[in-house]
């Protein structure tokens, strides 16, 4: 009976989240309310709440999570340094003469900004302000233009260094150790955020390639939707400007990812390198004023506080959920599904995809993954593959109407003549592309596991 109370608690928090109440307080408040009722009716052991201080200390003392404010700082600083503006201008000139060239430019800039900032909101807003008016002036179909901006902005979810992969890596690592302990393995293996970073490279680049193929095919089949400009003029020193605009983000990407893949630094240490590099780039571009630095620090503090408050609320929710034996109910449910571990994996991916319509990636990462992760990993599922599958699935949560955050970001900066319906229509093909990549990864797990096995074989 207690386990069914856990399902009612999950449904209750779902309803509270839909009301727009702050996520962290919705999670913790709902959990405490159900725990109080459970104690009164003697169906919940209050001793579960005694574990909360240790949980909170573990969160605050977690060195891996220190990468979150550092990567956020790096992304916000690069946004202030106007790196994206320079990239968009030069890429638009480089590909502008092609049919669909502006779309190619937006996708490539989205990829580079994803790999150098990892912040979806900053990328979507920046490209919405800079490239959407340009594409509309060049007679691009509004729906396709909006879809390309939203989709390329969400690449920051899967291309490292990604805030999503940092948070997901920490949760998956904990779930992996718990799964092994449950199986009687008392010297458990571990995985790191670095494993997920390396494992996400090939699927992330594959997703970019699929975006580009869609743009090129659409431009070829329907030339009026993405026409080439009549004339493109290039000033002297054009290619030198391209090298200069690409040098900054590429240098930062190689310094961060290279230090991780080379075994020279942990993701947290690499995040420190990235934050320092962002300051140096802003200084070189003469964008490091005291006012900008203050704004970057305030923005970083706000985002980091939001993430950690949600994490604390999710920790309390998870404790109460387990106190009502909800984890045992989930184990029974997934174990009874046809198809064994493949059936369980498909069911979890489907549930996460549907939750992505109404919840954002942080909520799903902190609430759902700790519950289902240990169960799936106990079924001998590779933790890196599971992490990348979840990351790509969560990426769709930024695009799926009606609550996709990328859609909100673009809606906020798009011209008034762009309708919400046009934005929704534009992202549909890209949601389909992400689902195709998810299917490819499901049938070909080595796409995520091969590179980490090579990189870390001698480390």
Euclidean distance between CA atoms 86 and 393, whole angstroms:
31
Whether the Cβ atoms of residue 329 and residue 6 lie closer than 8 Å to each other: yes
Q: What is the pLDDT of residue 403?
A: 67
Which DSSP state fits 41?
T
pLDDT per residue as tens digits for the range 48-98:
888 888 888 887 887 878 888 888 888 788 778 777 777 777 787 777 777
pLDDT at 431 over 80: yes
Which DSSP state fits 50?
G
SS (H, E, C) 384-445: HHHHHHHHHHHHHCCCCCCCCHHHHHHHHHCCCCCCHHHHHHHHHHHHHHHHHHHHHHHHCC
* Residue bearing tokens 């008392």: 186
CA angle centred on 263, ends 257 and 269, rounded to 5°: 65
Q: Measured in Å, how far apart are the chain's first and last C-alpha atoms?
A: 49
Q: What is the pLDDT of residue 209?
A: 95
pLDDT per residue as tens digits for the range 365-380:
888 888 888 888 888 8
Q: What is the pLDDT of residue 26?
A: 86
Q: How confident is the model at residue 235 (pLDDT cuts 50, 70, 90)?
A: low
Q: What is the pLDDT of residue 408?
A: 78
**270 token code pair:** 């690499």
Q: Report which secondary-structure segment, H or E, holds 382.
A: none
Q: What is the pLDDT of residue 174?
A: 86
Euclidean distance between CA atoms 449 and 432, whole angstroms:
24
Going by C-alpha positions, the residue among 85, 96, 73 that lies closest to residue 123 is 85
b/e code 66-93 from CB counts within 10 Å (16+ = b): bbbbbbbbbbbbbbbbebbbbbbbbbbb
pLDDT per residue as tens digits for the range 115-159:
766 667 667 877 788 788 888 888 889 999 999 999 988 887 888
Q: How confident is the model at residue 458 (pLDDT cuts 50, 70, 90)?
A: low
Euclidean distance between CA atoms 166 and 260, whole angstroms:
13
Q: Where are the beta strands (DSSP E) in 230-326?
A: none
pLDDT per residue as tens digits for the range 210-220:
999 999 999 99
- Please report which residue ranges of 118-162 form alpha helices under DSSP H: 120-137, 142-153
Regarding predicted confidence, which is higher, 357 or 255? 255
Whether the Cβ atoms of residue 124 and residue 407 lie closer than 8 Å to each other: no
Mean pLDDT of 284-304: 87
* Residue bearing tokens 């769709």: 396
pLDDT at 304 over 90: no
Euclidean distance between CA atoms 414 and 417, whole angstroms:
8
Number of domains making up the chain: 1
- Write out the residue range of the structural domain in which residue 111 sits: 2-455
**360 token code pair:** 């954002």
Q: Model's pTM, two decimal places? A: 0.82
Q: How confident is the model at residue 33 (pLDDT cuts 50, 70, 90)?
A: very high
Which DSSP state fits 229?
P
Going by C-alpha positions, the residue among 110, 103, 113 that lies closest to residue 135 is 103
pLDDT at 1 over 60: no
**348 token code pair:** 């979890």
Whether the Cβ atoms of residue 147 and residue 426 lie closer than 8 Å to each other: yes
Whether the Cβ atoms of residue 409 and residue 121 lie closer than 8 Å to each other: yes
Q: To the nearest whole number, what is the mean pLDDT of the chain?
A: 84
Q: Is the dihedral of CA 40, 10, 64, 312 positive or negative?
A: negative
pLDDT at 427 over 60: yes
Going by C-alpha positions, the residue among 108, 107, 129, 150 that lies closest to residue 397 is 150
Percentage, residues of the chain above pLDDT 90: 18
């Amino acid at each position: 009976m207690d386990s069914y109370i856990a399902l009612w608690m999950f449904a209750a928090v779902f309803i509270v989240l839909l009301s727009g109440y702050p996520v962290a307080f919705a999670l913790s408040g709902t959990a405490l309310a159900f725990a109080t009722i459970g104690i009164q009716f003697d169906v919940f052991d209050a001793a579960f709440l005694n574990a909360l201080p240790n949980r909170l200390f573990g969160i605050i003392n977690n060195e891996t999570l220190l990468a979150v404010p550092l990567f956020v700082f790096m992304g916000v600083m690069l946004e202030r340094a106007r790196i994206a503006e320079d990239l968009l201008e030069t890429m638009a000139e480089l590909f502008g003469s092609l049919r669909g060239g502006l779309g190619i430019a937006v996708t490539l800039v989205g990829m580079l900004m994803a790999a150098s900032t990892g912040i979806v909101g900053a990328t979507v807003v920046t490209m919405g302000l800079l490239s959407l008016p340009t594409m509309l002036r060049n007679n691009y179909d509004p729906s396709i233009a909006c879809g390309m901006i939203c989709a390329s902005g969400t690449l920051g979810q899967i291309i490292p260094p990604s805030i999503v992969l940092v948070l997901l890596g920490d949760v998956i690592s904990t779930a992996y150790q718990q799964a092994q302990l449950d199986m009687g393995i008392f010297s458990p293996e571990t995985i790191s955020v670095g494993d997920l970073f390396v494992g996400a490279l090939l699927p992330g680049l594959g997703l970019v390639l699929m975006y580009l193929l869609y743009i090129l095919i659409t431009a070829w089949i329907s030339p009026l939707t993405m026409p080439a400009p009549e004339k493109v003029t290039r000033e002297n020193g054009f290619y030198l400007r391209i090298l200069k605009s690409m040098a900054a983000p590429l240098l930062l990407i190689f310094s961060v990812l290279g230090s991780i893949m080379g075994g020279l630094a942990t993701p947290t240490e690499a995040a420190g390198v990235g934050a320092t590099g962002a300051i140096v780039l802003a200084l070189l571009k003469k964008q490091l004023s005291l006012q900008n630095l203050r704004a970057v620090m305030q923005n970083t503090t706000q985002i980091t506080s939001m993430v950690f408050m949600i994490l604390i609320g999710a920790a309390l929710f998870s404790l109460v959920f387990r106190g009502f034996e909800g984890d045992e109910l989930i184990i029974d449910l997934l174990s009874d599904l046809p198809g064994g571990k493949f059936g369980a994996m498909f069911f979890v991916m489907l549930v996460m995809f549907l939750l992505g319509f109404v919840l954002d990636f942080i909520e799903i990462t902190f609430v759902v993954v700790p519950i289902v992760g240990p169960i799936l990993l106990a079924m001998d599922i590779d933790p890196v593959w599971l992490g990348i599958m979840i990351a790509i699935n969560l990426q769709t949560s930024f695009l799926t109407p009606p609550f996709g955050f990328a859609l909100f970001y673009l809606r906020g900066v798009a011209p008034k003549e762009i309708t919400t319906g046009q934005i929704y229509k534009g992202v549909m093909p890209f949601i389909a592309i992400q689902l195709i990549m998810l299917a490819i990864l499901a049938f070909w797990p080595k796409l995520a596991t091969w590179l980490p096995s090579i990189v870390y074989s001698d480390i």
